[in-house]
């Protein structure tokens, strides 16, 4: 998550929950989504789910109500405080564990024996810095999951050329009598720059100078009421769903559901039981799983070649040695000697 994105969300945190829509409506829709996809109870008693980008609880609360233990990770403590209040209201606070921190470090708080499911919904994935961070997170998710564990991803289809060419780049998001929220999207090659504008009606001092606050007048303006403007911007990655599909399959997921509907992408995938994945910069290493021990290694490539040599001794498979250069090499698991370079 970029510093700009975090700063923006911290700035608007007091209003973000309102900006995302009515919670009760969202709660019922999310609960229905989980149930329609056979996610209605843990496979094991107190099965653990990680909710990445949990926010104010749009996914965490329904999952807790369904009986899951939920590790809710977000970088905004104010939103996690709202989440905890909602969990308390629904008597599921004992099932929710909030973590304020970096999504890419979520494995520091997951159990060694893995988790049943990881969800990353509500466009969280696009708010990482770039595609390499997205890949790194997906590998971390794979390694955090138990065999046959599930992943649910949703994100906005910002890579669609129709979205880029539309005239509706200035989008009214939500408004009521006291608040108006709108955004403007500025398309770049690999990212979209999202400008958000929030107008909040103020009871202002009649003696205050008119120009001291930005103002927006309604049909029957009151000269003693003005509209305060909160504005900021952050970037989202333009994720191509084809790239996500290919990468999920490559690292060891079976795609169970894919949907491209109303400009939003949904993936539901299951971890194959026999995959270990290591990640070093732009180099991916895949090994058959041994005793369900998942490996994530960030040492340099020469050190990893030593580990590969050790793997060769324990297996009849002929794993390739990775040269220490700047090329990106994908080592396919079947057969292990097959490899291809990507530009």
**Is the pTM higher than 0.85?**
no
Q: For residue 326, which of 307, 311, 341, 306 has the smallest C-alpha distance?
A: 341
Which position has the higher pLDDT, 115 or 9? 115
The domain in which residue 302 lies consists of: 281-343
- Asked if 225 and 119 sit in the same domain, the reply is no
Sheet holding 339-342, edge to edge: 276-280, 283-287, 328-331, 339-342
- Asked if 40 and 99 sit in the same domain, the reply is yes
Write the pLDDT tens digit of every residue in 255-270.
Answer: 999 999 888 899 999 9
How is residue 19 written in tokens?
């900006």
- Asked if 133 and 225 sit in the same domain, the reply is no
How is residue 97 written in tokens?
């564990």
- Asked if 231 and 135 sit in the same domain, the reply is no
- Asked if 153 and 244 sit in the same domain, the reply is yes
Average pLDDT over residues 91-102: 95
Q: For residue 155, which of 267, 6, 13 has the smallest C-alpha distance?
A: 267
Q: What is the pLDDT of residue 307?
A: 46
Q: Distance (Å, rounded) from C-alpha 199 to C-alpha 175?
A: 9
- Asked if 13 and 86 sit in the same domain, the reply is yes
How is residue 174 written in tokens?
């939500």
High-pLDDT (> 70) share of the chain, %: 63
Cα–Cα distance list, 56 to 114, 127, 200 (Å): 25, 17, 21
Write the pLDDT tens digit of every residue in 13-51.
Answer: 666 666 666 778 888 999 999 999 999 999 888 899 999
How is residue 117 written in tokens?
């499911």
Write the pLDDT tens digit of every residue in 203-242.
Answer: 643 334 444 443 333 333 455 568 887 777 778 888 889 9
Domain boundary among 185, 204, 237: 237
Answer yes or no: are the C-beta atoms of 210 and 203 closer than 8 Å. Answer: no
The rounded mean pLDDT for the chain is 74
Cα angle vertex 29, ends 25, 34, to 5°? 150
How is residue 39 written in tokens?
């996610």
Answer yes or no: are the C-beta atoms of 288 and 333 closer than 8 Å. Answer: yes
Q: What is the pLDDT of residue 118?
A: 98
Cα–Cα distance list, 334 to 32, 124, 182, 275 (Å): 38, 32, 49, 11
Answer yes or no: are the C-beta atoms of 186 and 195 closer than 8 Å. Answer: yes
pLDDT confidence band for 292 (50 / 70 / 90)? very low
Q: Supply the CATH number for residue 122's domain.
A: 3.40.50.150
- Asked if 194 and 98 sit in the same domain, the reply is no
Total domain count for the chain?
3
- Asked if 125 and 178 sit in the same domain, the reply is no
Q: What is the pLDDT of residue 302?
A: 42
Q: What is the pLDDT of residue 170?
A: 66
Answer yes or no: are the C-beta atoms of 268 and 36 closer than 8 Å. Answer: no
- Asked if 138 and 12 sit in the same domain, the reply is yes
Answer yes or no: are the C-beta atoms of 87 and 276 closer than 8 Å. Answer: no
- Asked if 54 and 130 sit in the same domain, the reply is yes
């Amino acid at each position: 998550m970029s510093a700009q994105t975090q700063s923006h969300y911290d700035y608007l945190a007091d209003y973000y929950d309102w900006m995302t829509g009515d919670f009760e409506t969202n709660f019922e829709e999310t609960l229905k989504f989980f149930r329609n996809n056979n996610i209605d109870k843990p496979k094991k008693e107190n099965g653990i789910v990680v909710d990445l980008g949990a926010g104010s609880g749009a996914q965490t609360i329904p999952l807790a109500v369904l009986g899951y233990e939920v590790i809710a990770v977000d970088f905004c403590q104010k939103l996690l405080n709202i989440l905890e209040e909602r969990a308390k209201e629904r008597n599921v606070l004992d099932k929710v564990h909030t973590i304020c921190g970096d999504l890419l470090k979520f494995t520091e708080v997951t159990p060694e024996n893995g988790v049943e499911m990881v969800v990353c919904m509500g466009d969280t994935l696009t708010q990482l810095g770039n595609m390499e961070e997205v890949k790194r997170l997906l590998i971390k998710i794979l390694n955090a999951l138990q065999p046959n564990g599930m992943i649910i991803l949703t994100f906005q289809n910002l890579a669609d050329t129709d979205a880029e060419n539309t005239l509706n780049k200035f989008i009214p998001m939500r408004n009521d009598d006291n608040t108006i929220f709108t955004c403007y999207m500025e398309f770049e090659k690999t990212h979209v720059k999202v400008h958000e504008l929030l107008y909040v009606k103020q009871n202002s001092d009649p003696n205050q100078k008119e120009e001291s606050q930005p103002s927006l007048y309604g049909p029957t303006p009151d000269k003693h009421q003005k509209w305060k403007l909160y504005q900021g911007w952050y970037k989202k990655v333009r994720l191509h769903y084809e790239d996500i599909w290919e990468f999920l399959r490559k690292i060891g997921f079976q795609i169970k559901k894919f949907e491209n509907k109303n400009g939003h992408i949904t993936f539901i995938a299951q971890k194959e039981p026999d995959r270990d994945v290591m990640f070093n910069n732009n180099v991916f290493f895949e090994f058959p799983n041994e005793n369900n021990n998942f490996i994530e290694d960030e040492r340099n490539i020469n050190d990893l070649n030593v580990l590969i040599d050790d793997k060769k001794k324990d297996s009849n498979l002929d794993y390739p040695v990775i040269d220490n250069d700047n090329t990106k090499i994908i080592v396919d698991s079947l057969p292990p000697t097959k490899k291809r370079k990507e530009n």
